[in-house]
């Protein structure tokens, strides 16, 4: 018997070692291929111009995201996933969306889940750098007024030097991640679980090694830790740097942050009151606060199955929260609260103009006059998001499984439209089979590809990606011979 037990242990160890070797080989092959490709491209671009033209900058930003997602999906393909599923999972990670095609979490290794978490963490940092450094300089979708270095807005770029700005954002991002990991470990999470969830929370990503998300841990104390960090993940990181280093009251003086805070608190109290059918208690406040913080920041975690447990009316409120999203300068998805704020101010001004047609009523943001061209950029982006939800939802709904010629059901409409909002706004979980405890695995492969493109386009705030379709962009690109 001792001999048999020894053989069994040896066989088990051999299989574990073999599994680890295969895991290491997959990541090693990906690293080698990425290194070779990057080195080749680096040599090809040695003589590239030091200053990018606008068209070139747009192309570089878009194709960099595409390239990173492709290389990031190679470990999934080598691990047995289909190309479509691997691309979906990788794009979901690097865009910090959090939508997943996984159904069997138990069969995946800790290294697999750590890789998923790292794709979101690095993706989140890249998103913040992109929105704070690159897009404002290109004047994309009105961002020049949100982060202009000449602006007196508290949400201005954190320093005149790009390098200094990036370093301060990096320090804040890493520090908050480490702090959250420590607090989660203090509530009973293992070090591995604490680190993985901290990586995906500050990135507003939502990937979890547990198939039931945070519900699977049944840890109310940990849920209270998640709530403020998810909320912070949806706030402006440049504004946080300013508040922590120069002006402590900058947060409360920023109109977008005040709207973001009021929206989160308002929806939390409303949903908690509906859950309690009266005055809410700790459980209702915790459940409502967790879900609202998760969806408004586009983190996408879930502490309960709101698809099954909550009414259609409350889920409609959650859909509104998804659309409103977080602040400019965060890793959150969607059109951002500041743009909705400017649209509301514009509509309010137009109503006043009806009563006072001769009045001069300039539109201002943080004391600075908003130029008409900036306002049109804001309107364009908000409109593109609203149209995008419909454009993406239609084919996704039509590709839902069902009998040929059958009428589209209300459930299919709900699932398809919410999936469109969840992917284009980079939220992740939707309703129906793509709900917080569900997966996108059952979607048609073509629908998965459509949603994959939606995640990329949404992360680049639509205009950046759509601009590449204009012939002028390709005419102005300078190609190296």
Write down the H helix ranges in 95-161: 110-129, 135-138, 143-147
Per-residue model confidence (pLDDT) at position 3: 40
Per-residue model confidence (pLDDT) at position 11: 43
Per-residue model confidence (pLDDT) at position 157: 41
Residue 362: is its pLDDT beyond 50?
Answer: yes
Per-residue model confidence (pLDDT) at position 152: 32
Per-residue model confidence (pLDDT) at position 369: 86
Per-residue model confidence (pLDDT) at position 142: 47
Range 44-58 average pLDDT: 62
Task: Considering only residues 17 and 410, tell me which one the structure prediction assigns the higher pLDDT.
Answer: 410
pLDDT category at 480 given cuts 50, 70, 90 is low
Pick the range with the lowest mean pLDDT from 208-212, 298-302, 336-340.
336-340
Write down the H helix ranges in 399-437: 410-424
Report the chain's mean pLDDT, rounded to a whole number: 84
Q: What is the pTM of this model?
A: 0.87
Residue 323: is its pLDDT beyond 60?
Answer: yes
CA distance linking residue 213 with residue 301, whole number of Å: 6
- Please answer whether residues 381 and 463 qualify as being in contact, where contact means their C-beta atoms are separated by less than 8 angstroms: yes
Range 96-121 average pLDDT: 93
pLDDT above 90: percentage of residues in the chain: 55
Range 55-82 average pLDDT: 86
pLDDT category at 364 given cuts 50, 70, 90 is confident
pLDDT category at 36 given cuts 50, 70, 90 is confident
Sketch the domain layout of the chain as residue ranges: 48-475
Per-residue model confidence (pLDDT) at position 47: 54
Per-residue model confidence (pLDDT) at position 55: 67
Pick the range with the lowest mean pLDDT from 155-159, 191-195, 288-292, 424-428.
155-159
Task: Considering only residues 147 and 112, tell me which one the structure prediction assigns the higher pLDDT.
Answer: 112
Task: Considering only residues 123 and 18, tell me which one the structure prediction assigns the higher pLDDT.
Answer: 123
Per-residue model confidence (pLDDT) at position 6: 43
Per-residue model confidence (pLDDT) at position 154: 35
Range 171-183 average pLDDT: 96
Per-residue model confidence (pLDDT) at position 274: 96
Span 196-227, pLDDT tens digits: 999 999 999 999 999 999 999 999 999 999 99
Per-residue model confidence (pLDDT) at position 51: 59
Pick the range with the lowest mean pLDDT from 81-85, 94-98, 136-140.
136-140
Per-residue model confidence (pLDDT) at position 161: 59
């Amino acid at each position: 018997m001792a001999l048999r037990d020894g053989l069994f242990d040896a066989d088990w160890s051999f299989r574990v070692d073999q599994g680890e070797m295969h895991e290491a080989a997959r990541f090693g092959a990906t690293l080698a291929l990425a290194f070779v490709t990057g080195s080749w491209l680096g040599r090809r671009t040695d003589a590239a111009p030091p200053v990018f033209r606008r068209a070139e900058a747009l192309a570089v930003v878009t194709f960099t995201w595409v390239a990173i997602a492709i290389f990031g999906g190679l470990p999934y393909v080598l691990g047995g996933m289909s190309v479509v599923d691997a691309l979906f999972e990788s794009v979901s990670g690097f865009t910090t969306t959090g939508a997943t095609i996984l159904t069997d979490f138990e069969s995946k290794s800790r290294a697999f889940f750590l890789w998923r978490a790292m794709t979101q963490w690095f993706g989140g940092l890249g998103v913040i750098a992109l929105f704070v450094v690159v897009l404002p300089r290109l004047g994309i979708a009105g961002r020049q007024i949100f982060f202009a270095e000449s602006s007196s807005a508290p949400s201005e770029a954190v320093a005149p030097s790009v390098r200094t700005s990036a370093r301060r954002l990096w320090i804040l991002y890493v520090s908050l991640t480490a702090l959250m990991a420590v607090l989660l470990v203090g509530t009973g999470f293992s070090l591995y679980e604490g680190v993985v969830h901290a990586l995906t929370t500050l990135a507003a990503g939502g990937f979890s090694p547990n198939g039931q998300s945070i519900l699977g841990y049944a840890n109310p104390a940990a849920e209270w830790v998640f709530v403020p960090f998810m909320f912070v993940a949806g706030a402006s990181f440049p504004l946080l740097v300013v508040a922590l280093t120069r002006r402590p009251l900058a947060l409360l003086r920023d109109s977008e942050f005040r709207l973001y805070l009021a929206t989160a608190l308002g929806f939390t109290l409303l949903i908690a009151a509906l859950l309690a059918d009266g005055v809410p208690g700790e459980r209702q406040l915790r459940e409502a606060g967790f879900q609202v913080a998760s969806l408004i920041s586009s983190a996408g975690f879930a502490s309960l199955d709101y698809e099954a447990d909550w009414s259609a009316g409350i889920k409609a409120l959650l859909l509104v929260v998804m659309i409103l999203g977080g602040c400019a300068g965060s890793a959150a998805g969607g059109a951002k609260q500041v743009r909705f704020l400017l649209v509301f101010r514009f509509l309010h001004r137009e109503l006043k103009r009806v009563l006072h047609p001769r009045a001069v009523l300039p539109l201002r943001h943080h004391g600075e006059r908003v130029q008409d061209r900036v306002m049109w950029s804001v309107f364009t982006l908000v409109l593109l998001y609203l149209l995008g939800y419909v454009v993406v939802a239609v084919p996704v709904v039509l590709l839902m499984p069902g009998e040929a010629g059958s009428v589209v059901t209300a459930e299919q409409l709900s699932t398809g439209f919410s999936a469109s909002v969840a992917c284009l706004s980079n939220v992740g979980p939707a309703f129906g089979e793509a709900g917080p405890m569900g997966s996108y695995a059952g979607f048609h492969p073509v629908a998965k590809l459509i949603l994959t493109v939606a995640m990329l386009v949404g992360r680049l705030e639509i205009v950046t990606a759509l601009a590449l379709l204009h012939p002028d962009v390709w005419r102005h690109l300078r190609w190296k011979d």
